[in-house]
């Protein structure tokens, strides 16, 4: 069954009861407000092996959830959905959404904020193996934009070639929580605007948990934090056995990771930083403020990282104090026109 080419009222509106969709394609549906294909304000909507293609709305190009429960099982495919404001594919302000099968968000889902998903309340969980590829935001969060509520990824996830014109090539969080309970791979995501930060993750509030063994590769920020920018005094970010390779802060600081002026707590244990690059200082890590420690029973290794200015591997600004315990290894790092080849 296919729902297609509606007027400005959208496709399906669910406010109570239970509705089951099996093998349905929602295509080219449109809403002038929320939920181009589906708007859920109460009750339960179950989607099994459904596709959402080229739908559009102001918020939630494909699906908007303000209450009730939405389940997506077996397979769920979202391609080419667009929101002019938040959540190119999904916008959730309340209720619950769960993905229990293979969820793919590939092929230019787009919005101003949250190319795939914008969350201002409610809960979203992924227990299958989601992939997020080639999605875009004209402002923040090429994939996720979270200001409240909770997003949980229970199994391995992949974020590849997503773009934000402002901050957070893959993820922007200002409040609420994002939890990666299994390995997450961030590959070739970009924050591209003239003042863009956080090629993969842009964290200015909320709680973020990154699973051990996660990978950040070839992510780029136009200014600071080629992979991650952490700028929230109330946030603790633990990076354990993570790999950072080939990330780039082209015009600023911290080829892989930056802590900003609001700081935060950054704990690094058993991580590998290799061939990251900063256009100014801190080829791998730039520390502006906050509490930062490099610990762990396994070594933190810094290899062939480069800063055009100072701190080929690590740069510490001002009077900030960092702690090294255990073993840290620095090999062939380079500050090409400044001081501190390693630190």
pLDDT in tens, 250-280: 999 999 999 988 888 999 999 999 999 999 9
Q: Report residues of the chain scoring pLDDT below 50.
A: 1
Neighbours of 16 (CB within 10 A): 11
DSSP 234: T
pLDDT value of position 339: 73
pLDDT value of position 340: 73
Check if the beta carbon of residue 9 is closer than 8 Å to that of residue 39.
no
pLDDT value of position 134: 98
CA distances from 315 to 36, 321, 339 (A): 47, 11, 10
pLDDT value of position 272: 97
pLDDT value of position 158: 97
Residue range 169-203, pLDDT digits in tens: 999 999 999 999 999 999 999 999 999 999 999 99
pLDDT value of position 297: 74
pLDDT value of position 319: 66
DSSP 299: P
């Amino acid at each position: 069954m296919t729902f297609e080419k509606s007027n400005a009222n959208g496709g399906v509106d669910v406010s109570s009861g239970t509705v089951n969709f099996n093998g349905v394609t929602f295509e080219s549906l449109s809403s002038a407000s929320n939920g181009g294909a589906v708007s859920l304000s109460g009750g339960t909507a179950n989607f099994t092996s459904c596709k959402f293609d080229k739908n559009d709305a102001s918020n939630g190009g494909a699906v908007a959830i303000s209450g009730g429960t939405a389940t997506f099982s077996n397979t769920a495919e979202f391609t080419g959905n667009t929101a002019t404001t938040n959540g190119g594919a999904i916008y959730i302000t309340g209720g619950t959404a769960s993905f229990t099968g293979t969820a793919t968000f590939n092929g230019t889902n787009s919005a101003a904020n949250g190319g795939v998903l914008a969350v201002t309340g409610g809960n979203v969980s992924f227990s299958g193996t989601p992939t997020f590829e080639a999605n875009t935001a004209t402002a923040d969060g090429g994939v996720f934009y979270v200001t409240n509520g909770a997003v949980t990824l229970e199994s391995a996830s992949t974020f590849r070639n997503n773009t934000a014109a402002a901050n957070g090539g893959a993820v922007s969080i200002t409040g609420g929580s994002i939890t990666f309970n299994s390995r997450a791979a961030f590959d070739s995501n970009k924050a591209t605007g003239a003042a863009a930060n956080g090629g993969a993750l842009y964290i200015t509030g909320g709680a973020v948990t990154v699973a051990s063994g996660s990978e950040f590769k070839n992510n780029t920020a136009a200014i600071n934090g080629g992979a991650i920018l952490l700028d929230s005094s109330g946030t603790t970010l633990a990076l354990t056995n993570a790999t950072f390779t080939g990330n780039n802060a082209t015009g600023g600081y911290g080829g892989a990771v930056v802590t900003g002026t609001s700081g935060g707590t950054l704990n690094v244990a058993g991580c590998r930083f290799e061939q990251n690059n900063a256009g100014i200082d801190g080829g791998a890590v730039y520390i502006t403020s906050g509490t930062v420690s490099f610990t762990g029973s396994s070594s933190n290794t810094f290899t062939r990282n480069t800063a055009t200015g100072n701190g080929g591997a690590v740069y510490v600004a001002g009077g900030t104090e960092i702690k090294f315990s255990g073993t840290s290894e620095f090999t062939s790092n380079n500050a090409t026109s400044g001081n501190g080849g390693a630190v």
